[in-house]
Amino acid sequence: MINKKRILLTQVLMTGMMAATMSGIMSLIALGPGAVWLGVWARQFVCAWPIAFVMTTLIWPIANRLSGLLLRETATH
């Protein structure tokens, strides 16, 4: 069993990386490369990371259960 500290650290790292890449890519598409884009990206990242963290905390159990149902797995724990 994975300990709770590792789960939390993984979630912090994963949501941080996803928030950075998604906010960067989407703002780059909208604005193109340049100084304005970098400023917008930084603000969007600071806003996106906590939202991503909270949403994964709420949505993870639902997604985990749905994937089990879709794969027709039975609970073994």
Structure tokens at 48: 């996106």
pLDDT above 80 for 1:
no
Cβ-proximal residues to 45 (8 Å cutoff; 6+ apart), any chain: 19, 20, 23, 24
Q: What is the pLDDT of residue 50?
A: 96
The residue that leads in pLDDT, 73 or 18, is 18
Instruction: List pLDDT tens digits, range 33-74.
Output: 999 999 999 999 999 999 999 999 999 889 989 999 999 866
Residue with tokens 């709420």: 58
Q: What is the pLDDT of residue 7?
A: 87
